[in-house]
Structure 1
Amino acid sequence: MATGITAQLAIHTAKIRYEDIPPEAIEKAKDCILDQIGVELIGSTLEWNKIAYRYVAEMGGRGESTVVNYGKKVPTLDAAFVNATFGQGCELDDVGFAAGGHPGAATVPVALAVGEKQGSSGKDFLAAVVVGWDVMYRLLAAVRPSAGKRGFHSHGIGAPFGAMSTAARLLRLNDGQMLHAFGIAGMHSSGTMEYDQTGGEVKRVIAGIGARGGIQSAMLAQLGLTGPPTIIEGKRGFLKVFADLVEPEEITRDLGSEFKIMRIWFKLYPCVATVQGVIYTLTKLIEEHRFGADDVEEIRVGISETSLSHGGAIYEPHDVASAQFSLPFSLAIRLLKNDNDLSFYMDPKLWTDPKVIALARKVKSYADPNAKKDQNYNTTMEVKLTNGKSYKTFEPYPPGSPLNMVSRDVLRAKFRKMARTVLTEERIDQLIEAVDRLETYNDAAQLIPLVVK
């Protein structure tokens, strides 16, 4: 009898060994881990994320796992909740290219929290991140873009599975427990994108909710709780509930031989993924043709339908989240400030600045029917100037994505900038070296003293 999709994923999650993972995937995991820790560090300093920390600190409980930056030991579930919130709370975290979600924020905080409690080795830590990333990516690829069109948040529905897979490996669940853990994770799979229509900083804790739910699923399965063994393919399972059009073959194709962490997309700008390529395209046009904000009459931007609905029409942000999701605002500050630093998105004065709003209003976005699959984040742009000149270009892939990957030097520079908000240069050097040598550690918790102030 054929094995169902859920069962195949459960077997894959339980059986893959560190030695089965190609060296290039392990190296990519190290880049992912360092990038995510950097995002957690800078994220830990932001007021809206501190709400999650205060919530957990006031709850108290047994000290099992460490909160990044602050060093406070809290229950494992709470540490993962806070650190994942830090790790997705400033829009600098990685993305599953052409699948969506932020697998780094679903796996690395979980591996840090559970690995510390369990005394997991560096090899186990790395393998757990790779497999968790793989599971989450595959599930989201099967329902994209349909799930997003229906209003579901990709991270919200995918993270509980990625987090569960990471935790379950470190907890060493057996085959039967693993299958039930998938069923339980499905009960945590949820979340809509109404925040990108009317705002709300609650978007910041989606990753925390997913991380907590994933670990909880694995722990409950370990204790004997059962779940539906067809949570993915069943009549009321993941595929049927979250999408109208699905590609289930995306879940099992090359399972165990191709690891989707190779499809990681590292963000370079502190804003939503759908705007990354647009900023990059405008930047290249500015560098090539040397025009400024005062020269622009109109900017026409062709992007995917999902990108257009995910912030393309926000012209006047009213909070940090809506600023980070606003395509027109991002282009306006690129022209006016020659940068897209996080500080600009956090500045309320810029949200209502007449010059910013006027320039943002010159941005006209439209849906490009050719922007699908690997081309989902492409950008067609035409800039019309007041002197009558017009420049048009097409960029197929945003920087940091697998088909336009940046160098490790660029990624390290990004990490250093983020980490400096908390750590000294000496500590940053030590942390980079520690992640580079992670597979040699008998206890991956050796990382923990390096991620606190």
Structure 2
Amino acid sequence: MNETRTLARFVVETRFADLPTRLVDNCKIAVLDAIGAGFVGSVQPWTRRIVSVVQALGGPPDASVIHEDWRTDVSRAAFANGVLIGAFECEPLTGSHASGTVLPAALAICQRERFDGARFLAALALGFEVSARIARTAVGLEAVRGFHNPGTQGPFGAAAAVGRLYAFDEEHLTSALGIAGSSSAGLLEFAWSGGDTKRLHLGRASQLGLESALLARAGVRGPETVLEGRSGYFNAFSTSPRIEKLLEGLGTDWAIEPPCLKSYATHVTHQAVVDAIQRFKSEHPLDPGTITRVAIRGAPRIMEERHSARAPHDVLGGQYSLPFTTAVALTRDL
């Protein structure tokens, strides 16, 4: 079975009217939450440096950049907005960080082409779904292979969304996915030795997906088995992919439900821990100085080595560190 082509056909044939009302409503919430995350990101020093480079590169004023009073071309706008949305670990996670990969690409094209809201939301939902299905199919991409999920999965979702906005047929959408997958990337090394590269990954994924769709629109062809092929995405990035998860329940069971919104600016695996501590403190006032030991039980992913740093090297390291976020939750009211 050609999984890539089947996924492309789903994007092409699904109508706005086919989307469950609750799913559309959740997409609207994700948009608002993501824009809010972008405003938070706009004041971070690493983001200011990245955005200043985008501004210096120029480009026709086709699309806006969150919080900025200047515009740029759709490719650079998608990149900048993806960086802004993912800049401080507080963006919606629905669809493997799709709010920072799919949304910026779709938004930039809609601004340039003046597409309406229904068209935008349909493209957004379908792009989110493509990204989410690829994410749930891959196994060991981060923990074993050392890649960063949204950097490798986001380009597919962004390409699908832009292709949908331009009403691609199955052939062009398949090519857009093929082009996007052929260049997808993103290493997880930042989790070990720091740096600002994680802040770049969402924006780069959005930019790559958008440009892949534009290339396909111009007639550039991509491999039609980019996901399932012998040298395709899953064989390159995953250990033993759960390939049945890619198309299971397609069109009836949505992989982006329930939505995933963050309450705290930490890694997603720490949200429940921080929330539990805050709830406990509200009912049982405590003196952090009297605490000698904290025991946390949870899923194996929470306990991965990359989340165990006791002396994080930078802000991102702190957001990724379970010991650090636990200490902050115990000593601060969040």
Greater mean alpha carbon deviation, residues 73-82 or residues 286-295: 286-295
Greater mean alpha carbon deviation, residues 222-231 or residues 287-296: 287-296
Deviation at 1:219, TM superposition (A): 0.3
For structure 1, the 5+ residue unaligned runs are 340-453
- Aligned AA (2:38): E
Alignment of 1:12-27 (within 5 A): 12-27=10-25
The residue that corresponds to 1:115 in the other structure is 110
What CA distance in whole angstroms lies between the structure 2 residues aligned with 1:310 and 1:40? 29
User: Which structure has greater strand proportion?
Assistant: 1
Kindly indicate whether residue 296 of structure 2 is the aligned counterpart of residue 301 of structure 1: yes
Q: Secondary structure at the match of 2:271?
A: helix
The residue that corresponds to 2:205 in the other structure is 210
Is the 2:139–2:239 contact (alpha carbons within 8 Å) kept by the matching residues of 1? no
Q: Normalising by the residue count of structure 2, what TM-score does the alignment of the two structures yield? A: 0.96
What CA distance in whole angstroms lies between the structure 1 residues aligned with 2:24 and 2:322? 34
Deviation at 1:5, TM superposition (A): 0.4
CA deviations 1:243-297 (Å, max 9, x no partner) are 1121111110111222333232100001111111111122233334332211211
Is the 2:148–2:188 contact (alpha carbons within 8 Å) kept by the matching residues of 1? yes
Deviation at 1:302, TM superposition (A): 2.4
The residue that corresponds to 1:56 in the other structure is 54
Deviation at 1:146, TM superposition (A): 4.9
Is the 1:62–1:75 contact (alpha carbons within 8 Å) kept by the matching residues of 2? yes
Kindly indicate whether residue 321 of structure 2 is the aligned counterpart of residue 326 of structure 1: yes
What CA distance in whole angstroms lies between the structure 2 residues aligned with 1:131 and 1:238? 19
The residue that corresponds to 2:307 in the other structure is 312
From 263, 270, 275, give the equivalent of 1:268.
263
The residue that corresponds to 1:248 in the other structure is 243
Deviation at 1:298, TM superposition (A): 0.2
Is the 1:95–1:103 contact (alpha carbons within 8 Å) kept by the matching residues of 2? yes
Is the 1:135–1:162 contact (alpha carbons within 8 Å) kept by the matching residues of 2? yes
- Aligned AA (1:299): V
The residue that corresponds to 2:99 in the other structure is 104
What CA distance in whole angstroms lies between the structure 1 residues aligned with 2:301 and 2:212? 31
The residue that corresponds to 1:84 in the other structure is 82
Deviation at 1:310, TM superposition (A): 5.9
The residue that corresponds to 1:155 in the other structure is 150
Is the 2:141–2:148 contact (alpha carbons within 8 Å) kept by the matching residues of 1? no
- Aligned AA (1:33): V
* Shift in alpha-carbon separation, 1:41–1:314, aligned structure 2, 3 A: same
What CA distance in whole angstroms lies between the structure 2 residues aligned with 1:148 and 1:113? 33
Greater mean alpha carbon deviation, residues 85-94 or residues 238-247: 238-247
- Across the two proteins, how many residue pairs are aligned to each other? 334
Deviation at 1:134, TM superposition (A): 0.3
Alignment of 1:341-360 (within 5 A): none
Using the aligned pairs only, state the percent identity. Answer: 29
Is the 1:118–1:170 contact (alpha carbons within 8 Å) kept by the matching residues of 2? no
The residue that corresponds to 1:414 in the other structure is none
Q: Normalising by the residue count of structure 1, what TM-score does the alignment of the two structures yield? A: 0.71
From 200, 207, 228, give the equivalent of 1:233.
228
The residue that corresponds to 2:134 in the other structure is 139
Is the 1:149–1:306 contact (alpha carbons within 8 Å) kept by the matching residues of 2? no
What CA distance in whole angstroms lies between the structure 2 residues aligned with 1:163 and 1:105? 10
For structure 2, the 5+ residue unaligned runs are none
* Shift in alpha-carbon separation, 1:207–1:274, aligned structure 2, 3 A: same
* Shift in alpha-carbon separation, 1:228–1:310, aligned structure 2, 3 A: farther
Is the 1:118–1:171 contact (alpha carbons within 8 Å) kept by the matching residues of 2? no
- Aligned AA (2:225): T
Q: Larger Cα Rg: Structure 1 or Structure 2?
A: 1
Deviation at 1:147, TM superposition (A): 4.4
